[in-house]
Chain A
Amino acid sequence: MGIDKVKKISYPILLALLLVLPHFVAEGWISIIIEMFVLAIAATAANLMAGYSGMVSFGVAGFYGAGAYITALLITKAGVPFEISFFAGPVGTAILSLPFGWFCVRRSAVYFSMLSLAFAQLMHLIVFTWYSFTGGDNGIVGIPMPALLGSTFSYYYFALAVMIVCLALMWILINSPFGKAIQALRDNPERAGFVGIDVRKYQLAIFVVGNFFLAAAGSLFCGFNQNVFAEYMHWVKTFDITAVYLLGGIFSFLGPTVGAAIYIFLNKIIIRYTEYWPITLGATIVLITLFMPDGVVGFISKKISGKGRESK
């Protein structure tokens, strides 16, 4: 049974499962699954840049947090209702990432990562010190939500819908001619350039798109928790997101989503029994990097179909 057949059968089952889940599990678990949705969007978005385009952004937390802050600030400072603020988060972040991205894509590999980190840290610093506007290290709490999304139960369906839409959009993008070009760019930028692809423009585009969806995840999380803190932008968050897509597998589209599920699950289980979550995470990451570079999904994929690395 090939992997495609497995997928065709399991996806609808999974979707049905997710749709009825809240009726069967405790509220605590629903919250956890919402976190998985958020992380799945964020990791998939970050992987658009890393796995599909070969651009390892070290500033993912910055743009993730930017989405959250834009949404939070619009609601609390300008009274804009969540319905609009939620969309303003990603849109605003995408616009914000344009100038940053313009500079970032002009540098390759290490320098790109460092520069994206520098920009993210700057954003974190601004948010952290601008106490009067952003609440500094106290963040913004008690953000009012529309009554319709007031309960965990209802927010679950909202988050599920958002995740499906975001993943679908990213999937369409990565399978479009643009998406193919981006992957060609990752594998051989020189050759892609010779074929006529404007390398910088494409890289900037994927940078903006990736950060757009990262911000969507941030706004989604902000809406759920009804708060936002400077930690959303800290580089530790970047590591978490990066660990997730690496764990899941950077060469498959749903890899990051699987990684998100595993990560959150592992996290919640481990911290129940021990305070030594960091070493667990670190050791897992080290082992994955050494022995399963294609991530969990890549590993299983290879076992089932016997193929090598492939980008989907």
Chain B
Amino acid sequence: MQLILGQIIAGLSLGMIFFLISVGLSIVFGTLKVLNIAHASFYMLGAYLCYTVTHLVYKSQNMFWIALILAPVGVAIFGGIIELLVIRPMYKREFLYQLILTFGLIYIIADIVKLIWGVQFYQVDIPPQLQGTVQFLGTKLSYYHLFMIALGPIVLALIWVLLHKTKLGRIIRAVTYSRDMSSALGINVSLIYTVVFMFASWLAGLGGTLMAPMASVFLGMDGTVTIECFIIIVIGGLGSTGGAFLGAILFGLANSIGIIFLPKIAIALSFIAMAVVLIIRPWGLLGKPE
């Protein structure tokens, strides 16, 4: 029982990180109709920026909170530049070209990271305010995990409020529904595309920043989440924010609980689930059929 509870908490908190990365990918696909395979690279960039910011002043642990603000913004700016330079010309092109281009971006960003930060692994400490564990039902639960589990729904709510209660959100939803009509009505669609892309990059960077204290910061960490994010947004529904949340939670839980009971096929479960969803309900659990 104790083991399961600990695993559930760990799984949920990991799920929240995946949610932060996946939701951006899903929104970009829903609004810009581009599947940005390099999205996980923004996640990695966020983690590296978190490391850099937290080590600016001599290893002061309160820097984490500053990193939490600065790193995602840094990633968002980078995302904006990428969108303007490279993604923008691709909107009218066929799917294959968009795919291969974003794939090429993965390699480019990975090597840029390597150029700047080198090949060593970096560590970021959990901020002192969130260190330690709390006893609950006989299990030690880490404060940091609980922090992330709390943050997830907050971000989800934030996105929902942004999309449904603000003017900008209304415009984004209009552009998602019909690019041409919105453009005809005078909306600057290109600007909206850039804004949405930057927002998604911000979210991915936030995911990376939050992940940094939990695991090492290293080259190749983008590859550890890329496929998983696809699985999540496919299961949740391409373009659906709530779907990304649901998919991420399910994924995190399935992985952490599956490891206990069915270790051999735990990883395969995700792919099988993805295949099943694509076969019987390709628009996912919370998506809309085209």
Binding site for B on A (CB under 8 A): 50, 56, 103, 106-107, 109-111, 113-115, 117-119, 121-122, 125-126, 129, 235, 239, 242-243, 246, 250, 276, 278-279, 281-286, 289-290, 293
B105 near A282: Cβ-Cβ < 8 Å: yes
Any A CB within 8 A of the CB of B238: yes
A282 to B274: give the CA distance in the assembly, Å: 28
Contacts of B114 in A (CB 8 A): 276
A109 nearest CB neighbor, chain B only: B95
Any A CB within 8 A of the CB of B104: yes
Contacts of A118 in B (CB 8 A): 231, 271, 274-275, 278
A51 nearest CB neighbor, chain B only: B96
Residue from A110, A129, A289 within 8 A of B101 (CB atoms): A289
What DSSP secondary structure best describes chain B's contact surface? Answer: helix
A242 near B104: Cβ-Cβ < 8 Å: no
Contacts of A114 in B (CB 8 A): 230, 234, 274, 278
Number of interface residues of B (CB under 8 A): 37
B271 near A285: Cβ-Cβ < 8 Å: no
Chain B positions 84 through 120: 1 when the CB is less than 8 Å from some CB of chain A, otherwise 0: 0010011001011101110111111011101100000
Any A CB within 8 A of the CB of B215: no
B267 near A111: Cβ-Cβ < 8 Å: no
Binding site for A on B (CB under 8 A): 35, 86, 89-90, 93, 95-97, 99-101, 103-108, 110-112, 114-115, 227, 230-231, 234, 238, 264, 267-268, 271-272, 274-275, 278-279, 282
A243 near B279: Cβ-Cβ < 8 Å: no
B100 near A122: Cβ-Cβ < 8 Å: no
A289 to B264: give the CA distance in the assembly, Å: 40
Contacts of B90 in A (CB 8 A): 289-290
Tell which of B97, B231, B275 has the most Cβ of chain A within 10 Å: B275
Further pairs besides A129-B268, A282-B105, A286-B108: 19, Cβ < 8 Å? A56-B96, A109-B95, A114-B234, A118-B275, A118-B278, A278-B110, A279-B111, A282-B108, A283-B104, A283-B108, A285-B100, A285-B101, A285-B103, A286-B86, A286-B101, A286-B105, A289-B97, A290-B90, A293-B93
A246 near B274: Cβ-Cβ < 8 Å: no
A243 nearest CB neighbor, chain B only: B100
Tell which of B90, B112, B238, B282 has the most Cβ of chain A within 10 Å: B282
B103 near A242: Cβ-Cβ < 8 Å: yes
What DSSP secondary structure best describes chain A's contact surface? Answer: helix
User: What is the distance, in angstroms, from A183's C-beta to the closest C-beta of chain B?
Assistant: 15
User: What is the distance, in angstroms, from B28's C-beta to the closest C-beta of chain A?
Assistant: 13
Q: Contacts A276-B111, A279-B107 known; A56 to B95 CB distance under 8 Å?
A: yes
A120 nearest CB neighbor, chain B only: B271
Residue from B86, B103, B112, B278 within 8 A of A279 (CB atoms): B112
A239 to B103: give the CA distance in the assembly, Å: 7
Nearest 3 Cβ contacts at the A-B interface? A282-B107, A285-B104, A279-B111
A274 nearest CB neighbor, chain B only: B111
A121 to B230: give the CA distance in the assembly, Å: 12
Contacts of A113 in B (CB 8 A): 95, 99
User: What is the distance, in angstroms, from A127's C-beta to the closest C-beta of chain B?
Assistant: 12
A189 to B154: give the CA distance in the assembly, Å: 45
Residue from B93, B99, B272 within 8 A of A122 (CB atoms): B272
Contacts of A250 in B (CB 8 A): 96
B104 near A282: Cβ-Cβ < 8 Å: yes
A103 near B274: Cβ-Cβ < 8 Å: no
Residue from A110, A122, A279 within 8 A of B108 (CB atoms): A279
Contacts of B86 in A (CB 8 A): 286, 290
A285 to B230: give the CA distance in the assembly, Å: 22
User: What is the distance, in angstroms, from B248's C-beta to the closest C-beta of chain A?
Assistant: 17
A103 near B100: Cβ-Cβ < 8 Å: no
A289 to B105: give the CA distance in the assembly, Å: 12
User: What is the distance, in angstroms, from A130's C-beta to the closest C-beta of chain B?
Assistant: 9
B103 near A111: Cβ-Cβ < 8 Å: no
